[in-house]
Structure 1
Amino acid sequence: MRIMVCTERDVVTCTALNRLLPGLAGHTVMVAFLDPGPVDLSSGSPLRASDRVEREVFPQRVLDPLDRLPAPPGALLSFGHLLRRYGVPFHALDRADAGDLHRTAAAFAPDVILSLRFGRLFREPTLSLPPLGILNTHSGALPAYPGLSAHAHALLDGATGLTCTLHRVDAGIDTGPVVAERRLPFDRTRSILWHLPALYTLGAEMFLEALPGLAAGRLPAARPQERAARRYRSELSAEQALELERLGFRFVAGRDVDELAARFTGTATGGTSAACGIRTFDRAVPGPVPRTSAGAGALEGHRP
């Protein structure tokens, strides 16, 4: 079976790909990713500071240097080492060219597409391209939490755990039938960022559970969403993010960044958060991070 994975190039998806790609052995796979680009911190939202750690700082300070090593030093593999170990081509999508996604998908001709924290909507004719459809991993329960920042909205509403939902993609936004969902207990001694790799790894596992049926040409069973229960969520505002902090939640914490880095580097030095400008239990991530030569374009150039 031909499987196309659409994702973004950040530490959360890299962790989930470490679970997903080994389970896709025997299938023809390609990964198409968007480089998230620079994060705007001007709103003062702690959510933006967390986004910057996972999308800019961690990839550039941890993942990109690991790509240049001859062998992976830790339990988790960086993007370049995932590509080399599993022989999966990675294609960098052009963020400025909306048609690049369809051209890439049409050229690959997938049987199914998995959207793994992918920051772009699927429209026709891409929606009708894969015979087995498109499945999406969503960071909230459906139909209660469609839209952006679903996990954070749930916490703001008093949830004691996070939910990852696997659903079919249709012409709406998070409106397709639900295939499966998994719940992740929330540890209040940890930051929100610390939970996200595990949350999306649950999404990867749900797709792998559906894989045997998909490989046999069967669409996974799914329940339609109750439309009356839907309440679309926009991206968490700066005020809502600050309210979460007032409730005792932290978006990012130094020890959590260090622990995650150690899973990739194999060393628990505790220096990653300091190099990233993060003080323990502090959301501040000051100063610009220069782009490195081992970014998205360099990754696309690797071929097994």
Structure 2
Amino acid sequence: MITAQSPLRILVCTKMDLAGALILNTLLPRLADCKVMVLMSEKTRPVENTVPELAEIKFFERDLPMDILFPLLDRADASKARLQTFAALSARYGITIESITDLNGPDGEARIRAFAPDLTISARFSLIFKPNTYDIPRWGTYNVHPGALPRYAGLFAPFRCMLDGSESIGCTLHRVDKGIDTGPIVGIGHLPIDRRRSLLWHVVNTYRPGLDLFLDMLDGLRRGQEPHYQAQDFSQRQYVSLPGAEPFAQFKAKGLKLLEAAEYLEILSGFLPPDMAMPGAVANAVANGRGDACCSVPA
């Protein structure tokens, strides 16, 4: 029998990048009555620095926001912006946002046990939970996976959906178990694919349907309702890692874009207060890009 206590203790695990900031901007206002701790992954994979397209994506998803835009905003008064940086979110909601690398080691486990979460939600975290950490919360650990499971298990699922010609990108809320993307499914939300828009636009918007499913589940848990699960059909599972040169060439041949400059700047503008223009350092970095391997940016 599930019974709620007040305030609930929620551990939120995400990544220190643009999509992670958007995830927290979605979740934290809805968790304002909870005790929240945020753990942030900064994990990168070696291939992200060797495949040109992946290096481009890393720059715009992580390096530019974290190294250029967010530090500028944190030195200014951006409190009236629609979206907040990590530092601003920490101050606004009075929560701890910490970086973590060794999730399942003695230190990581101790940090989670000390917080004693009722529930853990992982979205774009990149670190894999093991039983010693995913079994800590009394209501379990859940993951928001940016792909429809079981078919789109693994990495870069929005890219794969667009390359496959799918009509939508699924976002799966599932309970974490001892496998990778193998746990029982609570639900799958969908983001319609707009082929006029870039991969990056789809990536940062794919998580919202899964986050909505989590928030609906949380409301049910508060009322004492157990989640309903559906076991995965592993005969349909296709686990894929990050792509190499050939899939990116196929993506480009289909007329699809990984990034579009105006669209990207529109996303970033949500972090600016109404009276602030896009900082020149950011606009110049977007205009110059990091080469033309993947991005549709003005010269």
**Aligned mates of 2:13, 2:260 — CA distance in 1:** 28
Contact 2:119 2:138 in 1 (8 A): yes
Q: Give TM-score scaled by structure 1 length.
A: 0.85
Q: What is the one-letter code of the residue matched to 2:168?
A: G
Q: Cα distance 1:97–1:69, how it changes in 2: closer, same or farther (>3 A)?
A: farther
Contact 1:116 1:136 in 2 (8 A): yes
**Aligned mates of 1:136, 1:168 — CA distance in 2:** 6
Tell me which of 170, 182, 193 is aligned to 1:186.
Answer: 193
Q: Could you tell me which residue of structure 2 aligns to residue 119 of structure 1?
A: 126
What is the Cα-based RMSD across aligned positions, in Å? 2.5
Residue 39 of structure 1 deviates from its aligned partner by: 7.2
- Shifted more, 233-242 versus 129-138: the winner is 233-242
Contact 2:104 2:129 in 1 (8 A): no
Question: Quick check: 1:275 aligned with 2:282?
Answer: no
Counting aligned pairs with the same residue, the percent is 35
Q: Could you tell me which residue of structure 1 aligns to residue 270 of structure 2?
A: 263
Tell me which of 37, 40, 56 is aligned to 1:33.
Answer: 40
Q: Could you tell me which residue of structure 1 aligns to residue 246 of structure 2?
A: 239
- Shifted more, 110-119 versus 63-72: the winner is 63-72
- Shifted more, 182-191 versus 31-40: the winner is 31-40
Q: Per-residue CA shift, 1:104-154, capped at 9, x if unaligned? A: 211111111000111111012112111111110101101111111112122
Contact 2:131 2:177 in 1 (8 A): no
Show structure 2 runs of 5+ residues with no match.
1-7
Residue 12 of structure 1 deviates from its aligned partner by: 0.6
**Aligned mates of 2:210, 2:291 — CA distance in 1:** 29
Q: Could you tell me which residue of structure 1 aligns to residue 204 of structure 2?
A: 197
Tell me which of 246, 252, 257 is aligned to 2:259.
Answer: 252
Contact 1:7 1:13 in 2 (8 A): yes
Contact 1:163 1:184 in 2 (8 A): yes
**Aligned mates of 2:191, 2:134 — CA distance in 1:** 30
Aligned residue for 1:141, secondary structure, equals: coil
Q: Could you tell me which residue of structure 1 aligns to residue 96 of structure 2?
A: 89
**Aligned mates of 1:131, 1:145 — CA distance in 2:** 29
Contact 1:164 1:199 in 2 (8 A): yes
Residue 34 of structure 1 deviates from its aligned partner by: 1.5
Question: Quick check: 1:74 aligned with 2:85?
Answer: no
Aligned residue for 2:55, secondary structure, equals: helix
Question: Quick check: 1:18 aligned with 2:29?
Answer: no
- Which structure is higher in RCO with an 8 Å CA cutoff and minimum separation 6? 1
Q: Cα distance 1:39–1:79, how it changes in 2: closer, same or farther (>3 A)?
A: farther
Residue 26 of structure 1 deviates from its aligned partner by: 1.2
Aligned residue for 2:271, secondary structure, equals: helix
Q: Could you tell me which residue of structure 2 aligns to residue 135 of structure 1?
A: 142
Show structure 1 runs of 5+ residues with no match.
286-304
**Aligned mates of 1:178, 1:133 — CA distance in 2:** 13
Residue 279 of structure 1 deviates from its aligned partner by: 8.3
Tell me which of 149, 155, 164 is aligned to 1:148.
Answer: 155
| Length, aligned pairs only | 285
Q: What is the one-letter code of the residue matched to 1:196?
A: V
